[in-house]
């Protein structure tokens, strides 16, 4: 196996963090529970762009403490963190010159949470990766070409969205935060070869970066990404990572209490490791900046289990 993949192949266990503006509605819109994934609420409830953007005024996660999150991941035995820098709602969790729709310019919080996480990861020797929704963006004109749109503000050229938002922001996240170990692309339905290839030279800004198979345009990337399941025999000869939620959503939903048991979660890690894969286990922090207690309890169980059964 490739040297570049060495740390990743030894890591086995990582923390996925889905955190964004969707943690403000937390699964509820106009008093109704909106079915499906919390981070999809803008799409599921067809919230107009300007209405959704108002959540930014209420996003003030003053309890956010990046070091606590990194220490928690470490305690659970996790070796890397992948965080959503921008999900399909188009909201950047970092200071961006390409779009004002970001946590520093659009919220009362005004802090670059990605920068703080990068600093904490560096301090504790935790590898850091970025999720970035390169194709699907419901906020910026032209970015919603993927699955249709519901607001005139979303109309526009996909190519212009790629050139003016996605590519510049990718450049920002790969140059402003020190070493980036993983780039996690997603939902490439509207990508083609021309669009996808615009990202390749930017990835080179981080030598050794590992990226998944969701860039699109026929570019296979480094990783297979089975989602919410464990493949029966793994993917022999390939690098693969099962990503999974602890309840039924990636982004925080206040009424989703359907948690997997700690026993099941620990068995999943063992199952995946035994088949040569990695487990990217998700947490969905609240709009206050806290990882839900039910997730914290489960992560600590991993720590207890590893103390008895892990390598010294």
What residues make contact with ligand JFZ under the rule CB under 6 A?
Answer: 37, 39-40, 186-187, 227, 243, 250
**3-state secondary structure string, 246-273?**
CCCCCCCCCCCCCCCCHHHHHHHHHHHH
For residue 118, the minimal CB distance to ligand JFZ (Å) is: 21
Q: Of 26 and 37, which has the nearer Cβ to ligand JFZ? A: 37
Q: Of 37 and 145, which has the nearer Cβ to ligand JFZ? A: 37
For residue 96, the minimal CB distance to ligand JFZ (Å) is: 19
For residue 119, the minimal CB distance to ligand JFZ (Å) is: 25
Of 288, 296, 280, 266, nearest to 214 by C-alpha is 280
**Whole-number Å distance between alpha carbons of 74 and 88:** 28
**Whole-number Å distance between alpha carbons of 127 and 180:** 8
293-309 helix and 66-75 helix, angle to the nearest 10 degrees: 40
* ∠ CA 31-32-35, rounded to 5°: 150
Q: Of 44 and 60, which has the nearer Cβ to ligand JFZ? A: 44
Q: Of 117 and 305, which has the nearer Cβ to ligand JFZ? A: 117
Q: Of 179 and 226, which has the nearer Cβ to ligand JFZ? A: 226
Structure tokens at 188: 């490439």
Assess contact for 205 and 221: CB atoms under 8 A.
Answer: no
Q: Of 155 and 227, which has the nearer Cβ to ligand JFZ? A: 227
Of 72, 82, 71, 113, nearest to 300 by C-alpha is 72
**Whole-number Å distance between alpha carbons of 64 and 210:** 27
For residue 146, the minimal CB distance to ligand JFZ (Å) is: 10
Do you know the residue count of the chain? 312
Which long-range contacts (C-beta less than 8 Å, at least 24 apart) are formed by 156-164? 158/190, 158/195, 159/194, 159/195, 161/137, 162/134, 162/195, 162/198, 163/198, 164/98, 164/140
For residue 311, the minimal CB distance to ligand JFZ (Å) is: 29
Q: Of 160 and 227, which has the nearer Cβ to ligand JFZ? A: 227
For residue 16, the minimal CB distance to ligand JFZ (Å) is: 7
Q: Of 199 and 305, which has the nearer Cβ to ligand JFZ? A: 199
For residue 307, the minimal CB distance to ligand JFZ (Å) is: 30
Of 16, 19, 25, nearest to 44 by C-alpha is 25
**Whole-number Å distance between alpha carbons of 58 and 69:** 22
For residue 39, the minimal CB distance to ligand JFZ (Å) is: 5
């Amino acid at each position: 196996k490739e040297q570049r993949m060495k740390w990743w192949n030894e890591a086995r266990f990582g923390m996925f963090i889905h955190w964004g503006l969707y943690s403000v509605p937390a699964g509820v819109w106009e008093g109704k529970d909106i079915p499906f994934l919390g981070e999809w609420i803008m799409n599921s409830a067809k919230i107009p762009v300007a209405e959704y953007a108002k959540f930014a005024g209420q996003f003030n996660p003053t309890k956010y403490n990046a070091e606590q999150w990194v220490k928690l991941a470490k305690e659970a035995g996790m070796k890397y963190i992948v965080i959503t820098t921008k999900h399909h709602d188009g909201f950047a969790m970092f200071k961006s010159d390409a779009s004002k729709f970001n946590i520093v310019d659009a919220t009362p919080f005004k802090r670059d949470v990605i920068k703080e996480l990068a600093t904490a990861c560096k301090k504790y020797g935790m590898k850091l990766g970025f999720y970035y929704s390169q194709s699907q963006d419901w906020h910026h004109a032209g970015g919603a070409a993927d699955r249709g749109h519901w607001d005139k503000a979303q109309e526009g050229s996909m190519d212009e969205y790629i050139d003016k938002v996605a590519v510049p922001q990718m450049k920002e996240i790969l140059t402003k935060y020190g070493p980036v170990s993983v780039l996690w692309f997603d939902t490439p339905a509207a990508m083609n070869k021309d669009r996808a290839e615009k990202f390749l030279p930017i990835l080179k800004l981080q030598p050794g970066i590992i990226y998944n198979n969701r860039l699109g345009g026929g570019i296979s990337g480094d990783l297979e990404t089975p989602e919410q399941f464990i493949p029966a025999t793994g993917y022999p000869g390939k690098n693969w990572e099962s990503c999974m939620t602890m309840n039924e959503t990636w982004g925080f939903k206040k009424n989703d209490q359907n948690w997997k048991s700690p026993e099941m979660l620990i068995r999943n890690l063992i199952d995946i490791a035994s088949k040569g894969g990695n487990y990217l286990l998700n947490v969905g922090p609240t709009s206050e900046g806290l990882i839900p207690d039910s997730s914290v309890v489960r992560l600590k169980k991993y720590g207890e289990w590893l103390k008895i059964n892990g390598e010294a």
